[in-house]
Structures are given as structure tokens and as C-alpha cells.
Amino acid sequence: MFDSLKSKLLNVRGKLSKNIEESIEETSAGSKKINDIESPAGSSPVAKQQAQPSEQPSSKIAARNQHSFSDRVKTLVKDREVVISEKKIEGTLQDLEIILLENDVALPAVDAISSRMKENLTGSTKKITQSVDAMVVEALKDALLDVLGDGFSLTGYIETHERPVKILFTGVNGAGKTTTVAKVAHYLKKNGYSVVIGSGDTFRAGANEQMQTHADRIGIKVIKHQEGADPSAVLFDTVEYARAHGIDVVLADTAGRFHNRANLMNQLEKIRRVMKPDIVTYIDEAVAGNDAVIRAEEFNNAVGTDTVILTKADMDTRGGAAISIAHTIGKPIMFLGIGQGYDDIIAFEPERIVEEILGGDDKC
């Protein structure tokens, strides 16, 4: 996942580390000169040794004095603070911006990452107490986490809200919405919650049958009406069933639609009024890149969005949508779809995603 982005960020890390190393070397050279000036003849350890009689061989005295001088320089450089100039990393940050844009990261997110990197690495002093690469990785990690946001724990939400918790799923045609609803149902069932699904996609031929097949496989109840029925009525009945049977969570599927289809968007507004969902979740494909980000923003503006799920993240080498979408619309990602099986969905944890992007050991 995100292989293209990972390899290119590794190159940027190398360039930034090299530039900062040069700053450290310049500071070290300057520190050595200062040390020479502040240690005039007669006051240095060498001069003092020459002024005192010694029974040690001259070679041992020289080695000891050389070791003492070296330690003093290293200590001085270590204790000093290195100012990393913007000029030193400006070109590499521009390279970073290009790489992010090439990997479908939206421009507002690119600007935010670049600005945070600049803020973290310049304009303030840095003690040389850690490896340069670690310093760069920490800055990248901080910038990415800032853009990714906090994520969203569905189980945490359920535990702190009145049940049934009602979740309405929206999105464009072909994004894998119905299958994703089934995956979320399976995830919740594994975590000990009772679930009922409302088959609100009443216009797509075979949608009821597709949802029923998924539900039979994972052992979940489905509420459905005949094809062409009012989806608001289906989802109203689903909520009533959940209340009557003490169900924890209602998952409401809807027909795929585009934001510019006024009649379909009006229908979605009616569904929201009737169902009164606690969470509205937008679903799109991670491989859609910037298109997914733009559509999410348009859906959010049209009918509102609380969380996002990105499907096909396992096929996404660029990672642009995953990085951009939360920052662009100001709503957290809840899950990533990473395969075809019902278990192939992971809760979106920003720390884990950043580890994946920066080449850590924890793989999604």
C-alpha cells in the first residue's frame, strides 16, 4: 500500500538529512575555530602538560592530550544548538511538494505538510542530540499526522452514545458501497455488537439480492422492500426494527449517486430527515485520488458528511486520497478497505498509516 509514495519520500528524507548534516558540519567547523581561539598557548591542556614535569612517555602524553581536545570539541558541538536555515532545505521542500502532488495529494494538504515541515525544521534551534535522519522522520511524521487528523473510532462512538446508533452510507456509483456496508457489519459483529442492515438501494436491479447474499454469509438481518420502493420507508422500518429488538447498530445502504443530480440529492435529504442518522459516512475509492477528494467535498457541501471510508486502499500506490481527504473536508476517515474478504477492512489509525508511509515495520 502506498508503495510509490513511500519510495519517493525515502529519497526526500535522504536529501533533507544531507542538507542538515552540512549545517551541522559547518557548525562543527565553526565550533573548532572558536575552541582554538579560546585556548591560547599556555592555557591549553597541552601547554599545561608541557609546563609540568612528567614521568610518562611523550607519546602517551600526546595521545592523552589529543583525546582530551577531541572530547572538548565533541562536547561543544553536542551542547551547541544548530540553526537549520530555510535556505538549506528550501529546494528539498519544493521537491517534497512536487512528489506529493504527483501522488494525488490535494494542494491544500500539500501546502499544510510543506508549511509544517518548514516550521519544524527551520526558524528555531535544534540540539544535535539525535541522528539527523531521526530528526527528519520526526518532522515528516508530525506534518503527516497534522494533516491526517485524529481518525474515528466507531466502537468508541457506539459505547458512548444511545443505541441503536444509526449510520447512513452515501457515495458515488461503483465505489463498493454495498460490499463495504457488509464489511462494517461483519466488523461490528466480531466486536460483539448486534447489527441490522437496511437495504435502501431500491433502484439498482439486483441490489436487494446482493445485500441479502452478503447478510446471509455473515449472519446479519436485512430489512428490505420491493424494488422501486421509497428508500426512506425502508430505512424507517429498519430503525423501528432495531428499536423493537434491542439492536445496537443500524447500517443503512443507499443508491449510488452524484452530487449534481438534484433529484437524487433531494431524495438523500429526505432519507436523512426520516431516518435521523447519527453518522453519515461517505464511501469512495482510494485509487480515485484527487477525484475522491473533490467528490467528498461536494457531497459534504450538499448533504453533509461525518466520516469517510476509502475502498481499494490495498491497490493504491499513491496514497493521495488517504492523506488529503480528512484535511480537505475536515472530516475523519473511519475505515480503509484493503481486499475483497469481509475481514479486509481496517480501522483508520493515523499513527499506523504514517508508520506505513514512512516505511515502518507495522504493515496495514
Q: Is the peptide bond before 164 cis (omega within 30 degrees of 0)?
A: yes
Whether the per-residue pLDDT at 189 is higher than 80: the answer is yes
Greater confidence (257 vs 252) lies with: 252
78: in domain: yes
Pair 139, 174 in one domain: no
Instruction: Write the CATH number for 208.
Output: 3.40.50.300
Burial class of residue 4, CB neighbours in 10 A (0-12, 13-18, 19+): middle
Q: How far apart are CA 143 and CA 189, in angstroms?
A: 35
Cβ partners under 8 Å of residue 110, min gap 6? 97, 100, 101
pLDDT of residue 21: 78
175: in domain: yes
Residues 116/110, Cβ–Cβ less than 8 Å: no
User: Residue 51: which pLDDT band, with cuts at 50, 70 and 90?
Assistant: very low
Pair 136, 188 in one domain: no
Residues 337/180, Cβ–Cβ less than 8 Å: yes
pLDDT of residue 292: 93
Whether the per-residue pLDDT at 50 is higher than 60: the answer is no
25: in domain: yes
Weakest-pLDDT range from 22-31, 134-143, 258-267: 22-31
Pair 231, 299 in one domain: yes
Pair 144, 159 in one domain: no
Pair 167, 136 in one domain: no
Q: Tell me which amino acid residue 273 is.
A: R
User: Which three three-digit cell numbers place residue 252?
Assistant: 443503512
Instruction: Over range 246-259, report the average pLDDT.
Output: 90
Tell me which of 117, 148, 179 is where a domain ends. 148
pLDDT of residue 84: 75
Rounded to the nearest integer, the mean pLDDT of the chain is 84
Pair 230, 160 in one domain: yes
Pair 84, 159 in one domain: no
Tell me which of 148, 172, 188 is where a domain ends. 148
Residues 252/237, Cβ–Cβ less than 8 Å: no
Instruction: Over range 300-316, report the average pLDDT.
Output: 93
pLDDT of residue 69: 43
User: Which three three-digit cell numbers place residue 276?
Assistant: 435521523
Report how many domains make up the chain: 2
Q: Specify the length of the chain in residues.
A: 364
Pair 131, 266 in one domain: no
DSSP strand pairing (125-127 vs 81-83)? antiparallel
218: in domain: yes
Tell me which of 91, 118, 148 is where a domain ends. 148
Percent of the chain with pLDDT strictly greater than 90:
61
Please indicate, yes or no, whether the overall pTM of this predicted structure exceeds 0.85. Answer: no
Whether the per-residue pLDDT at 322 is higher than 90: the answer is yes
13: in domain: yes
Pair 161, 299 in one domain: yes
Q: Which of 348, 352, 318, 354 is nearest to 331 (CA)?
A: 348
356: in domain: no
Greater confidence (42 vs 234) lies with: 234
Greater confidence (350 vs 204) lies with: 350
Instruction: Over range 80-98, report the average pLDDT.
Output: 82
354: in domain: no
Weakest-pLDDT range from 22-31, 43-52, 301-310: 43-52
300: in domain: yes
Residue-number span of the structural domain to which 308 is assigned: 154-348
DSSP strand pairing (221-223 vs 195-200)? parallel
Pair 270, 202 in one domain: yes
Q: Where are the beta strands (DSSP E) in the chain?
A: 81-83, 125-127, 165-171, 195-200, 221-223, 249-254, 279-285, 307-311, 333-337, 345-347
Q: Which of 19-28, 37-46, 140-149, 201-210 has the highest mean pLDDT?
A: 140-149
Weakest-pLDDT range from 62-76, 276-290, 313-327: 62-76
pLDDT in tens, 123-173: 555 555 567 888 889 999 999 999 999 899 999 999 999 999 999 999 998
Whether the per-residue pLDDT at 271 is higher than 90: the answer is yes
The sheet with strand 279-285 has its strands ordered as 221-223, 195-200, 249-254, 165-171, 279-285, 307-311, 333-337, 345-347
Pair 305, 210 in one domain: yes
Instruction: Write the CATH number for 83.
Output: 1.20.120.140
Weakest-pLDDT range from 24-28, 239-243, 330-334: 24-28
The SS3 call for residue 282 is: strand
Pair 81, 163 in one domain: no
Instruction: Over range 264-278, report the average pLDDT.
Output: 90
In our burial notation (b when 16+ CB lie closer than 10 A, e otherwise), range 66-76 reads eeebeebeeeb
For 132-136, the CB contacts below 8 A with 24+ separation are 132/17, 132/20, 132/21, 132/24, 133/13, 133/17, 135/20, 136/13, 136/16, 136/17, 136/20
